[in-house]
Amino acid sequence: MAEIPIDLATWTRAAQFNLFRTYDRPHYAVTSRIDVTHLLTIAKPRGVSAYRGCLYAIGHGLHAVPELCMRFRDSDVVQHDATQMSMTVPQDAGGFGYGYVDHYADFPTFDAACAAEIAKVAAGKGLAPNQGERDDLAYVSCMPWLDYTSINNALPGPDDCIPRVSWGKFVDQGGKWDMAMTLEVHHALVDGEQVGSYFAAVQEALNDL
């Protein structure tokens, strides 16, 4: 994976970047309802894992929005050409570990890679967290026990610019199914317009499974 420097002299968000880099609390989280009717009533009966289907759609959404692949280096900004998703995986011995999976535009390729990574982490021991050595990631986690209305994440400080994605319980809305999904981002890199584009891309990917 490669990173491309962003020219702040021509970047249309340079003023916003310079402003929000000075904030002590620059992160914000947006929760939206996602329609999973197609996923659960069409794709799942065909053998698609609902969990891995959600991961695939999240990866599609992240890579559809360039700003969600941007990270800063002090006063500079770079854009990764691709990012991995780091997801929590319950382990057979108890607790959980972190898995790391690339995104592939082709769902069967992604699904096979994701299933293999989940099985490896589930059978292993230890957390294997990212401790700041890389930022070509997005952190993702599922809360299938709860239909929540909002959520935010533990963050190490204002310099952390890695996006976080969470999603909750599937809810039957009288024949249609939906769920809560949250995207948490650093305002120096991502505005509401990009958040909206992310959710639209996630929904598109779920509908196309």
CA-to-CA distance for 201 and 83, rounded, in angstroms?
A: 16
pLDDT tens for the 209 residues of the chain, in order:
789 999 999 999 999 999 999 999 999 999 999 999 999 999 999 999 999 999 999 999 999 999 999 999 889 999 999 999 999 999 998 889 999 999 999 999 999 999 999 999 999 988 888 888 899 999 999 999 999 999 989 899 999 999 999 999 999 999 999 999 999 999 999 999 999 999 999 999 999 99
Is 50 within 8 Å of 44 (Cβ atoms)? yes
Instruction: Dig out the tokens for 144 from the structure.
Output: 């299938």
Domain ranges of the chain: 32-185+194-208
pTM of the model: 0.96
Is 180 within 8 Å of 31 (Cβ atoms)? yes
User: By 3-state DSSP, what share of the chain in percent is helix, strand and coil, each rounded to 5?
Assistant: 35, 25, 40
Domain 32-185+194-208 coded CATH 3.40.640.10: no
Is 87 within 8 Å of 99 (Cβ atoms)? yes
